[in-house]
Amino acid sequence: MIKLPLKRSKLEKYLKNNIFTITAELFPPKGTDISNFKKKALIIKDYIVAVNITDNQRAIMRTSALALSKIILDLGLEPIYQITTRDRNILALQSDILGASILGIKNILVLGGDHPKNGDHKNAIPVYELDSLGLVKTIKTLENGTDYAGKVLAGVPKFFTGTALNPNLKPIDKALEEIRKKEFAGSDFFQTQPIFNISDFLEYKKLCDPHNNKNILVGIMFLKSYNFAKKLANIPGINIPENILKRLKNSNDELNEGIKIASELIKELKDKKYTQGVHIMAIGAEEYIPKILEKL
């Protein structure tokens, strides 16, 4: 099979050339009205390299991430198409992945996905025929010219493939095993769960360095209020230092304080070259991303 050279994504070029990279994410709407989705995309367009389009995040039904990744392309932005193994069997996964390539999508983020019991369709039947490692391997198989069943493809896709990491996993051996397995499976880049304590991340990164020291985008979650931060702090695996909670609680302007906190975290990571970039999670408040980045 002849494999034609394919143009690399902007995200891949930035990371491989060690340019500090900023990504963010957008949630598809629950319905067909995408006007607000497009509005937010245009607000952040000039501030980021690429944007994740989430796939029924938190197991809540939303419009197709594949369709909205194409909308993002048409707006002149580069999408990172999220795909979970929760909702599709091996046939549907491969079909959607090939479809994404045909549409011109070059970045893909592979996730397992939250269980439906945690979402708004609690009786939905989860699939999980593959885990995220299995799907990364399947993408690499497709790129090599055959499908999961070993049948030859008439044309092959090429993606910059990412997976998620959780540096907050304890004991730390679990976190290290996670990155080793995902790197071995063929992950090209990584996005982490939210980090609020840089010293904890540096401890994790130091231990990871013998195995992978590149293409890690550190998750930065925008804390919109003290109450939001307090709820987040109760989620297992999330570590928000007490001093950050106090700053929000004692502030006369919690929103602006949250902007400052996110900006400070990004600035330290960037200025001290602790990582290759950041992934901003604003959870429906994407219009504040420019303010966060303008403070750098």
Query: Which pLDDT belongs to residue 4?
Result: 45
d(CA 68, CA 27): 10
Q: Residues 249, 225, 54, 26: what is their CA dihedral angle, to the nearest 10 degrees?
A: -130
Query: Which pLDDT belongs to residue 180?
Result: 87
Q: Decide if 247 is inside a domain.
A: no
pTM above 0.85, yes or no: yes
Cis peptide before 171 (omega within 30 of 0): yes
d(CA 135, CA 143): 12
Single out the residue of 96, 126, 131, 127 nearest to residue 111, CA to CA: 131
What does each of the 296 residues of the chain score in pLDDT, given as a tens digit?
A: 445 446 789 999 999 999 999 999 999 999 999 999 999 999 999 999 999 999 999 999 999 999 999 999 999 999 999 999 999 999 999 999 999 999 999 999 999 999 999 999 999 999 999 999 999 999 999 999 999 999 999 999 999 999 999 888 777 787 788 888 998 899 999 999 999 999 888 888 887 765 555 699 999 999 999 999 999 988 877 889 999 999 999 999 999 999 999 999 999 999 999 999 999 999 999 999 999 999 88
119, HSE (Cβ side, Cα atoms, 13 Å): 19
Q: How many domains does the structure of the chain reveal? A: 1
Single out the residue of 246, 229, 161, 239 nearest to residue 194, CA to CA: 239
* Cα angle, residue 40 at apex, residues 35 and 43 outer, rounded to 5°: 130
Q: Decide if 281 is inside a domain.
A: yes
Q: Decide if 53 is inside a domain.
A: yes
Q: Residues 234, 239, 245, 246: what is their CA dihedral angle, to the nearest 10 degrees?
A: 120
d(CA 231, CA 116): 21
Q: What is the CATH number of the domain that holds 272?
A: 3.20.20.220
Q: Decide if 228 is inside a domain.
A: no
- CA distances to 143, 144, 145 from 2, in Å: 12, 11, 9
Task: State the burial class of residue 140 (Cβ atoms within 10 Å of its Cβ: 0-12, 13-18, 19+).
Answer: middle
Query: Which pLDDT belongs to residue 6?
Result: 60
- Domain that residue 69 falls in: 10-222+258-294
Q: Decide if 263 is inside a domain.
A: yes
